[in-house]
Structure 1
């Protein structure tokens, strides 16, 4: 996440635009555009919102043009889609609950449990367990939701493969992303944090439905990790009992637990330039087996001239932004929660020595500090895979680590903490 505040927003945004303009080969408007309302072949048959969730019934929010809360398209339940889009906080918890209930309804009607892929993106999506998944299992997978918090620039389509892995094994999954436009225009306690707060409220509501429900967080990069910190802050303030329902955290390609301008510059550069970024390059391996890691020395790969200009401008940009008092306090506060006030649950850190955005030493230092604090921590260095690319680079090892962690630390019956 980028943490901007109102007094700095205009001049710093102008500086950012100037930096982005240096990368003339990239289609920046597409990278930084707001989410649009859903449109499709069946848009003419859109179902209206119930009165309680219509935007008109909610208190006004800043920049409320073209609000879209929850929209259903097509009466064919196999093609039903929903979009909370950028203005979902207008409807808040009632809409979020409707999303979950609608997912249950489509499952009962025989639809696929996960929402179909869309041409536009939503902030939030609930994926139900696949029918019959682990039907003979005696554990409580169906009572567990895995919350996937995306990296900077990620979209629902990027998190879909992770959600499908979990739902195919009987878990619920929630995929959550923040638009880059919301992050670039960040205000402390503003829209981006309201979106995270909305998710926090819904998760607390879900675990209160009945005894035995659990939450597992799976975060990606520093953006997802910081979202997790804000959710923890919300739950600790609003409903501490929900924190005890968190039974595990999986941290992919993070953290750097200090405000570091170089890390933020690299993260934004990777999000903007995608496959053109040096951050997408890892070490080279000649072995194609899924259970073998590359161990040869990592070659030094320098960024192209356009990315070098962008990185230089972004680093100077974040030198100013991250030292702005309000932003620095907010970031430091969230990082302090993640460093010192995490739930008493097992943690798994997945990282790589070849990651050019999040240094492996930063992850290993944080892991060691958590162990010294008495936390149950596991970690795995993928050695050669690029930033947030470990699943694609080595699916065998990645899924093996997830499976062992879930079976050993989440699904094994735990002693009741309240006893």
Structure 2
């Protein structure tokens, strides 16, 4: 398996130690700074971060996120982009998750999982399913959801994700215009109905069950009202379901603007502030 990590981490050997009041939706980043106590150097080594990319993501897309985590103080960062087939087909995802775990150093300390879109969430769910010794589950201190997830993708969500992530449509609006062409819409809708019935429906349900087993990890959400891939209402429905189940939702930050998985670029200062706050929160746990 190829590691697609930021190799420029501080430590020569990647050892495991990765990077409550409920914050209201739309809380400004400036308001969380008050509880962002400066971490000590001695405690910083106890946190590591794993970034898992979205459907169609590549190493160059994740590098900027890994570098941002490193700059705010995380000593060990791993970036991983699941293959396209792993996000499309359950059997390949389970196989890739097993290989991922085989190459992952033994967990030590606190781990932050930074999951992008539905693809990152799906792969993480498969990792939890394959984690038979519960080493990953026991080490997770926080999960950061970036532009996702939803309780389940719709055909509209999926088509925009595929067209922008794999076929490289210029933007989300262009992808939607392609989808609205009659011949393409008929083709896609029929194909999605079969895929949902035969593969995705049961698979997604199992991912949700696996994630539901994380009782102690805090959850942080970064998303946009402008997102055309996973709409903010779907994300907020997911958040509400987590809270109803007793999960610790520590932050739900919604920007009014921002393309899918592009929040760092469009809102850099506030975004970095959010990551810093999350990091400090984990250090204080």
TM-score past 0.5 threshold: yes
Q: CA–CA distance in 1 between the matches of 2:129 and 2:239?
A: 21
SS in 1 for 2:158: helix
Give deviations 1:223-271, integer Å, cap 9, x for gaps: 0011111112222xx1124322111110001111124222212211221
Q: For residue 177 of structure 1, what is the aligned residue in structure 2?
A: 81
Q: For residue 147 of structure 2, what is the aligned residue in structure 1?
A: 253
Q: Which has the higher strand share?
A: 2
Give deviations 1:121-178, integer Å, cap 9, x for gaps: x5533535347xxxx9334322322111101111001000111112232331111112
**5 Å matches for 1:368-407?**
368-377=240-249, 378-407=251-280
SS in 2 for 1:244: helix
Q: CA–CA distance in 2 between the matches of 1:411 and 1:402?
A: 12
Give deviations 1:29-49, integer Å, cap 9, x for gaps: xxxxxxxxxxxxxxxxxxxxx
TM-score using structure 2 length: 0.80
SS in 2 for 1:147: strand
Q: For residue 221 of structure 1, what is the aligned residue in structure 2?
A: 117
2:193 aligned to which of 310, 319, 327? 319
Q: CA–CA distance in 2 between the matches of 1:240 and 1:229?
A: 13
Q: CA deviation at 1:327?
A: 4.3
Q: CA–CA distance in 1 between the matches of 2:232 and 2:179?
A: 26
Cα contact 1:127–1:172 (8 A) shared by 2: no
Q: CA–CA distance in 2 between the matches of 1:336 and 1:245?
A: 18
Distance change in 2, residues 1:176/1:232 (3 Å)? same
How much is the aligned-residue C-alpha RMSD, in angstroms? 2.5
SS in 1 for 2:206: helix
State whether structure 2 residue 23 is matched by structure 1 residue 129. no
**5 Å matches for 1:38-187?**
88=1, 122=2, 124-125=4-5, 127-130=7-10, 137-168=40-71, 169-181=73-85, 183=87, 186=89
Q: CA–CA distance in 1 between the matches of 2:59 and 2:69?
A: 15
Distance change in 2, residues 1:239/1:399 (3 Å)? same
Q: How many residues align?
A: 255
TM-score using structure 1 length: 0.56
- Structure 2 unaligned runs (5+)? 12-38
Q: CA deviation at 1:198?
A: 1.9
Q: CA–CA distance in 2 between the matches of 1:224 and 1:356?
A: 17
Q: CA–CA distance in 1 between the matches of 2:217 and 2:42?
A: 18
State whether structure 2 residue 235 is matched by structure 1 residue 363. yes
2:94 aligned to which of 174, 193, 198? 193
Larger radius of gyration: 1
Cα contact 2:116–2:147 (8 A) shared by 1: yes
State whether structure 2 residue 127 is matched by structure 1 residue 231. yes
SS in 2 for 1:348: strand
State whether structure 2 residue 178 is matched by structure 1 residue 274. no
Q: CA–CA distance in 2 between the matches of 1:327 and 1:229?
A: 13
Cα contact 1:279–1:387 (8 A) shared by 2: no
Distance change in 2, residues 1:354/1:156 (3 Å)? same
Distance change in 2, residues 1:365/1:141 (3 Å)? same
Distance change in 2, residues 1:265/1:159 (3 Å)? same
Q: CA deviation at 1:318?
A: 1.2
SS in 1 for 2:259: coil
Cα contact 1:153–1:271 (8 A) shared by 2: yes
Cα contact 1:352–1:385 (8 A) shared by 2: yes
SS in 1 for 2:41: coil
Cα contact 2:4–2:78 (8 A) shared by 1: yes
Q: CA–CA distance in 1 between the matches of 2:6 and 2:96?
A: 15
Q: For residue 43 of structure 1, what is the aligned residue in structure 2?
A: none
Greater relative contact order (Cα 8 A, min sep 6): structure 1 or 2? Answer: 2
